[in-house]
Structure 1
Amino acid sequence: MVETTRLPLLGALLLILPLLAACDEAPAASDTPAPVAPVSFNQQIRPVIEQKCIACHGCYDAPCQLKLETAAGLDRGASSMSVYAQRTEAADPTRLFVDAQTTAEWRERGFFSVIDSKRGLEESLLYRMLELGRAHRFEPGERLPEEIALGLKRDNQCPAPDEMDDYAEEHPLGGMPLGTPALSDDEFNTVRTWLAQGAPPGDDRVTLSEREREQVRGWETWFNRDGKRQQLAARWLYEHLFLAHLYFDQGEDRKPDHFFTLERSLTPPGEPVRPVATRRPNDDPGERFWYRLRPVTGTLVHKTHITFALSDAKRRRMESLLFDTPWEIDTLPGYSEEEKANPFTTFAALPARARYQIMLDDAEYFVRTFIRGPVCRGQIATDVIRDRFWAVFQDPDHDLYITDPDYRARVSGLIALPGQEDSLLKLGPEWIKYTKRRNDYLRERAEAYRAEQPQGPGWNDIWDGEGSNPNALLTIFRHHDNSSVRKGLIGDYPLTSWVMDYPLFERTYYSLVANFDVFGSVSHKAQTRLYFDLIRNGAEQNTLRFLPADTRKQVLKNWYQKTGQLKLLVSYEDVDTEVPTAIDYHSATPMNEFNAGLLSQFGALNVRPDPINRCGGDNCSRADATALERDVEQALSAIASQPAARLPVVDHMPEASLLLVDGDGEQAVYSLLRNRAHSNVAFMFGESLRYQPEKDTLTVYPGVLLSYPNFIFRVAHDDLSAFAGAMQAVESEKDFTALVERFGVRRTQTDFWTHFHAPLRYMEAHEPTQAGILDLNRYLNL
């Protein structure tokens, strides 16, 4: 009995033992890693970069030249060479998609990878920097430690992979994103997994619709026509559109599917674009090329997103302007230094009216190229202009350069532009030479207008936009080390306004855009800056022609106070005080009266009426404002345009801030722009010595009127009165700090990135064609 009982048990054990052995040899189910799905750069990594990286790493001034708008920029990596540097000799350009085409070519140019993790994650600079950013968390809502340097004066460290240990030890708070909340756990794990998988590359290619391909074919055919007249016109257009983000305007208020750049390509239409890699758009291409439209890839960055609409109507307009008037040319101009220096003689055969009118039709675009192009970066580059001024244009029918061929032939040789010489030793002689030519030109110009208009200029001498074009009225803001421009006359009456004729407009464009080399020497950049000073003075002198003759010197003296008087004696041509103006004046403040006249004479063109900053009664909001906006504008009108002497908070405000106002399911966005007053803007250095801070004011206007916010304030609708009251109550730095702590969005806030990108969402909703990620590099640690 006992034996029969044991047999079944023994059999059971014999059956179970092999299974137990097998379990002992096999790994536990929990030890087997689950298969990890491949991480997609486009779908999973790019959104992280757009949310927390591109705000600092875009355009020429991206730290360490790490440009992250495209997958190609991430693959190219970083460099220790700074684009914006004081050089005695020009540097080799490093333009993405232009100066090298492959990763190997960029490595030969000194760029090193930030994503290479073949030997482990510790080899990836991107991983190490993000990891360092997570290792040191900042106290939410508090100011950053003082040892974290911010802004343009920051000395960016660009460690190669084998230098990262030293960097982490010396800069423990220097992880990325710099001085803001770190990547979330999910974001960091996604990036880490992608790097561990070998960083599979992204795809920057775009797919055009059939309609877009048809438009591209039509425009490329038009640009590449045979015939010397067509070739000269195409060259002039290319030199004026090479910075543009072109789009096909369908007349709809929505973001275009794609933007394009106009390129000189070594390949004809139908083949992949291979750009001609010259330093400037008017350098000799060296071989045959075709004009091509290439799609803009990657993420749009506001500061480089300079849009220009293409349409069938615009092509017909340009065709008519360029070719309806008969003209001939036997020999096309070349690309010599002399020809690049003087677009007026180079394109002399091209009808001057056509050139001017094409620029007038899209004046905001052309002024924006001055401002958002590579030249406009840093205080020295921008201190030649006032902090806010209005710009209008001389009517083509009243511009002697357009209407008088003999006058045009006499003066064209005098308005060439400096900057072709890179030698530091030639800086002084070049400056003296071009200053003399400019002043000779002004004397010739004054004499010609005196003979043509003995009664002086009147309102009909200012371009009226042909009755409907809002590009006729512009406002330009300077934000210390950068600038912005918008259609319309915004803000209180400015100290100065510019009346630009064609020679002024074209010289500004070629000086600051076509002929400017961001990789050039200090001599080249200084010549550019110094000549723009003469252009500003020329625009001011042209404006003075519209004021009473006996007031001009006093007005000019007010613009050039103190040391500015020396510049008037040494550099500038005397202002005319004899020829009268055809405008009637009735006050002792003719400049204010002129500005008021611009508003009354051309009010129908003013697309940005401004009762906020020029409130003349109880109602200080725009007629088309929403209910939320009316409340905002009424509340903020109390602080708008008030001098710092009466409103001390202005003296504590950054140059360019944004205000987010949250209503019931709606958010309004306003720009708060500080206008610094100066005794004069006539010198390259010593700007702080010319400040008049008691005269500073604040311009308040709806929308995003800037690319580089210095700070963001956020206010609930119910707290509008409290915010305006707190602004009015500020008397000291302590008061302003309390204002910031209550209403400010500091870099350390846990939801900082949500608020930082709120203006982008606003632009996407209200002006989608202009929307792009704002730049964080100038955001202050208030």
Structure 2
Amino acid sequence: MSHRLIISTFLLLIASSTQAQGPAPAISYARDIQPIFTQKCVACHACYDSACQLNLGSGEGVARGATKVPVYDGERGKATQPTRLFYDAFGKAAWQRQGFGSVLDAQGSQAALMARMLELGHKVPLQPNAKLPDDIVLGLNRENMCPLPGEFEAYAGAHPREGMPLAVTGLTDQQYQTLQRWLASGAPIDEQGLAPSAKEALQVQQWENLFNQPGARESLVARWLYEHLFLAHIYFEGSEPGHFFQWVRSRTPSGQPIDLINTRRPNDDPGTQVYYRLWPVQGVIVHKTHITYPFSAEKMARVKSLFYAGDWQVNALPGYGPGRRANPFETFEAIPAKARYQFMLDNAEYFVRTFIRGPVCRGQIATDVIRDNFWTLFQDPEHDLYITDARYRGQATPLLAMPGQNDDVGSVLSLWLAYRDKRNAYEALRRDSYTDLSPPGWSTLWAGNDNALLSIFRHFDSAAVNKGLIGEVPQTMWLFDYPLLERTYYQLAVNFDVFGNVSHQAQTRLYFDLIRNGAEQNFLRLMPADTREGFLDDWYQNSGKVKLWLDYEAIDDNKPTGLALDEKDPKRDFANQLLARYGELNVSPDPINRCVSAYCSRPGIDPVLRDAEQALSRLTSRPAAGLKVIEQLPEATMLRIETRSGKREVYSLLRNRAHSNVAFMLGEAYRYQPGLDTVTIYPGVLSSYPNFMFNIPAEEVPEFVAAMENAKDAKRFEAIVDRWGIRRSHPQFWQYFHDLSRYIRESTPVEEGVLDMNRYENL
């Protein structure tokens, strides 16, 4: 198949050269095989962090096979070829030309590689709920071995207990036999792609018509909207559950099969006339890449009112290229800035998720620049000078360009210095210009809907975003204005290339450090002027002070705040007033972590769960120096609390790691302050990557909490794991693991997806 394969608009045909001819096989891939992969394999084999890039979420991914070439490589001197499923190639033969090898084909008298890997895993079962041997390396430290068929015997000899599924309760006998029969029959794939319903097809047509209207103004708006929605899993409100759509660029208009334009970035030159098209998201939905966005009649009316109601005009359409990628403020300057910002604010959780949770599945390059927990606020458009003052906007726009377009390794330092100086010139302009305004007050903060308050939790190389203010008052808070929100989105979502080289990745990481500092400085303008330097000293301890002096523009420590805050603890007073003022927007009330009375549980829940939450609250707001068990905990632990009536509630127990500063690319371990770690406990699944799970009868929660309080060392913690833990070897591991996804479906159905277990630890 050609690289420019024309795909049906609504039906993606999954091809396999191994597909049998003649009568339908006894075993159906769609009916019998994919459900096994979904239940037992996709949790490790999805997205870019699939071992050996073997993605088992669809027939296309299974037929594509595996490769030794890693996606994540922070040291490569040259960018590597993108290997995005359903995007960069289609069909087994095309993928093999890109270096992938089949795991389905028999090799002479030898069975297929997948069959042999499954056999190796099935013949050495795990001891039920026992800790795995230490010589089985798991998680991010595991070497990506990826044996070829001719290398399997050597792999099996060196790793006899590391068949598939890897180091986890494996396939049932029936599942194993079904897969082996299918593989022995040639592994035929009869899967057909997801097709929209008639109602969805009509809505797709309406949105494509909107995006593909003729006219320069309409074309520019469509380009901006596409660049802001290309990552979204779009769903039509009230339509088929589980159906999601994604914007792509096509050479063909609506009504014709999609001819995909598969550029490396969404804002690369398409080289031809572009039509924006919606196609169904194919394969199993996995939570880590599932960043949802709603479409409805109200949303369409909102888009029209924001972008098409005014009389603004476009004199000439901008081109493409590095300069246009580097500065979207110049590229789209004809579109009213208020419309652009307001569109992003309306669904701020989506935009923050695109660059904090992200679609790249392993993001330490970005996440090690942020603290483990913080709250995010947004500046009201009416108080954003970039929106309200054309003269200021004209001065600021040239200074808002971002690095990463030139990936010459030898130029990293010079590029960094140039963009750092440009950014600092902008910060100086912003500081001096805002000095002339009234002191910032509560009206400075946007409060338009429940996206206005967000909580971010980092779990080493991944992070999660949730609406509302969750957890104890954090050490830092961020305040986004439009220039900061747009730059963050472009730098980390639109312009970031996970397949890029070391120069591109370093420039991205270094500039995000400046973005974080800008968000902190924006927030500090709300604090009393004479406290700002003290906050910075706390946030940039030790080596961080060098970074403050070397790379960051000086903060305004003269302009007063318009808020009346307690001088002894202004940040906490601000948080308390924020919670009181915006209670109707705070969709995450949190009495477990912020208990202000004798009752530390949510009202209106089952009494036995209320008692459980009351007990769990004893573990929060205590540093590891006083709660030693924190030292034993991974980043994201799930607590499954089960009542005698059969009900269950799920809580996330998150370890918040403390650092003296987060201002440097390397040496995070040297800035770690373990004695200051804390935990946050909150109802729900607040991570795509659970690290462990406890299953606790509700009446035993007080006993569990007491054991945690008394667990002063690893031996005592292991006793807790032995009693309540769900280890990878637990006979019902998959039942409990997938129940987390069922919980998501019950609470927020559109957010459901298979969770990732690559980071599930061997406790």
Letter in 1 for 2:353: R
Contact 2:355/2:489 (8 A) holds in 1: yes
The separation in 2 between residues aligned to 1:373 and 1:639, in whole angstroms, is 30
Partner of 1:463: 446
Partner of 2:597: 617
Structure 1 range deviating more: 202-211 or 306-315:
202-211
The separation in 1 between residues aligned to 2:609 and 2:309, in whole angstroms, is 47
The separation in 2 between residues aligned to 1:503 and 1:69, in whole angstroms, is 38
1:527-549 per-residue CA deviation (whole Å, 9 max, x = no partner) reads 00000000000000011100111
Q: Cα–Cα, structure 1 residues 375 and 539, in superposed 2: closer, same or farther, change >3 Å?
A: farther
Instruction: Choose from 570, 593, 609 the match for 2:550.
Output: 570
Alignment of 1:678-693 (within 5 A): 678-693=659-674
The separation in 1 between residues aligned to 2:605 and 2:215, in whole angstroms, is 52
Instruction: Choose from 156, 159, 170 the match for 1:171.
Output: 159
Letter in 1 for 2:479: V
Letter in 2 for 1:373: G
Q: How many residues align?
A: 739
Contact 1:248/1:256 (8 A) holds in 2: no
Letter in 2 for 1:501: D
1:298-317 per-residue CA deviation (whole Å, 9 max, x = no partner) reads 21100000000000101110
Q: Does 1:592 align with 2:572?
A: yes
Instruction: Choose from 301, 318, 326 the match for 2:311.
Output: 326
Partner of 2:753: 772
Alignment of 1:435-514 (within 5 A): 435-453=420-438, 456-465=439-448, 469-514=449-494
Contact 1:366/1:509 (8 A) holds in 2: yes
Structure 1 range deviating more: 621-630 or 769-778:
621-630
Q: Cα–Cα, structure 1 residues 319 and 495, in superposed 2: closer, same or farther, change >3 Å?
A: same
Alignment of 1:109-148 (within 5 A): 109-117=98-106, 119=108, 122-148=110-136
The separation in 1 between residues aligned to 2:44 and 2:688, in whole angstroms, is 12
Contact 2:326/2:405 (8 A) holds in 1: yes
1:484-520 per-residue CA deviation (whole Å, 9 max, x = no partner) reads 0000000000011111100010000000000000100
The separation in 2 between residues aligned to 1:289 and 1:192, in whole angstroms, is 45
Q: How far did residue 257 of structure 1 move? A: 4.3
Q: How far did residue 742 of structure 1 move? A: 0.9
Contact 2:496/2:508 (8 A) holds in 1: yes
The separation in 2 between residues aligned to 1:543 and 1:36, in whole angstroms, is 63
Q: Does 1:195 align with 2:175?
A: no
SS in 2 for 1:661: strand
Partner of 1:106: 95
Partner of 2:700: 719
Q: How far did residue 689 of structure 1 move? A: 1.1
* Structure 1 unaligned spans of 5+: 1-34
Q: How far did residue 39 of structure 1 move? A: 0.4
Task: Point out 4+ residue stretches in structure 1 off by more than 6 angstroms.
Answer: none
Partner of 1:286: 271
Contact 1:659/1:672 (8 A) holds in 2: yes
Partner of 1:58: 46
Q: Does 1:675 align with 2:656?
A: yes
Letter in 1 for 2:332: F
Partner of 1:704: 685
Contact 1:370/1:376 (8 A) holds in 2: no
Partner of 2:196: 208
Q: Does 1:234 align with 2:214?
A: no
Partner of 1:97: 86
1:79-105 per-residue CA deviation (whole Å, 9 max, x = no partner) reads 110011121111111111111122111
The separation in 1 between residues aligned to 2:219 and 2:675, in whole angstroms, is 54
Instruction: Choose from 405, 408, 421 the match for 2:393.
Output: 408
Q: Does 1:519 align with 2:504?
A: no
SS in 1 for 2:451: helix
Partner of 1:336: 321
1:148-182 per-residue CA deviation (whole Å, 9 max, x = no partner) reads 11111211111122221221112212200100122
Letter in 1 for 2:324: E
1:32-84 per-residue CA deviation (whole Å, 9 max, x = no partner) reads xxx99710111111111011100000011111011111110001111110011
Partner of 2:7: none
Q: Does 1:581 align with 2:570?
A: no
Contact 1:204/1:298 (8 A) holds in 2: no
The separation in 1 between residues aligned to 2:228 and 2:241, in whole angstroms, is 22
Letter in 2 for 1:285: P
Instruction: Choose from 495, 512, 533 the match for 1:532.
Output: 512
Q: How far did residue 271 of structure 1 move? A: 2.4
Instruction: Choose from 29, 39, 47 the match for 2:35.
Output: 47
Q: Does 1:631 align with 2:611?
A: yes
Q: How far did residue 375 of structure 1 move? A: 4.9
Q: Cα–Cα, structure 1 residues 754 and 734, in superposed 2: closer, same or farther, change >3 Å?
A: same
TM-score normalized by the length of structure 2: 0.95
Q: Does 1:542 align with 2:494?
A: no
Letter in 2 for 1:752: F
Contact 2:357/2:465 (8 A) holds in 1: no
SS in 1 for 2:259: coil
Q: Does 1:298 align with 2:283?
A: yes
1:580-618 per-residue CA deviation (whole Å, 9 max, x = no partner) reads 001012231111122222212211100010011000111
Partner of 2:296: 311
Letter in 2 for 1:743: W
Letter in 1 for 2:691: N
Contact 2:349/2:465 (8 A) holds in 1: yes
Contact 2:609/2:698 (8 A) holds in 1: no
Structure 1 range deviating more: 163-172 or 649-658:
163-172
Partner of 1:665: 646
Alignment of 1:270-285 (within 5 A): 270-285=255-270
SS in 2 for 1:551: helix
Q: How far did residue 758 of structure 1 move? A: 1.2
Contact 2:455/2:470 (8 A) holds in 1: yes
SS in 2 for 1:452: coil
1:241-288 per-residue CA deviation (whole Å, 9 max, x = no partner) reads 1111000012x9xx7341000010122212232321100000000112
Contact 1:612/1:637 (8 A) holds in 2: yes
Letter in 2 for 1:490: I
* Structure 2 unaligned spans of 5+: 1-22
The separation in 1 between residues aligned to 2:498 and 2:165, in whole angstroms, is 27
Q: CA RMSD in A?
A: 1.4
Instruction: Choose from 706, 710, 713 the match for 1:732.
Output: 713
SS in 1 for 2:658: coil
1:332-364 per-residue CA deviation (whole Å, 9 max, x = no partner) reads 111121111000000000110011011000010
1:710-767 per-residue CA deviation (whole Å, 9 max, x = no partner) reads 1111101221111111111111111111111111111111111111111011111111
Contact 1:392/1:498 (8 A) holds in 2: yes
Contact 2:251/2:273 (8 A) holds in 1: yes
Contact 1:118/1:198 (8 A) holds in 2: no
Partner of 2:403: 418
Q: How far did residue 380 of structure 1 move? A: 3.8
Letter in 2 for 1:696: D
The separation in 1 between residues aligned to 2:56 and 2:250, in whole angstroms, is 24
Letter in 2 for 1:733: A
Contact 2:455/2:466 (8 A) holds in 1: yes
Q: Does 1:244 align with 2:229?
A: no
The separation in 2 between residues aligned to 1:141 and 1:327, in whole angstroms, is 65
Contact 2:288/2:361 (8 A) holds in 1: no
The separation in 2 between residues aligned to 1:376 and 1:194, in whole angstroms, is 31
SS in 1 for 2:258: coil
Q: Cα–Cα, structure 1 residues 271 and 123, in superposed 2: closer, same or farther, change >3 Å?
A: farther
Instruction: Choose from 379, 385, 398 the match for 1:394.
Output: 379
Q: Cα–Cα, structure 1 residues 600 and 309, in superposed 2: closer, same or farther, change >3 Å?
A: same
Letter in 1 for 2:597: G
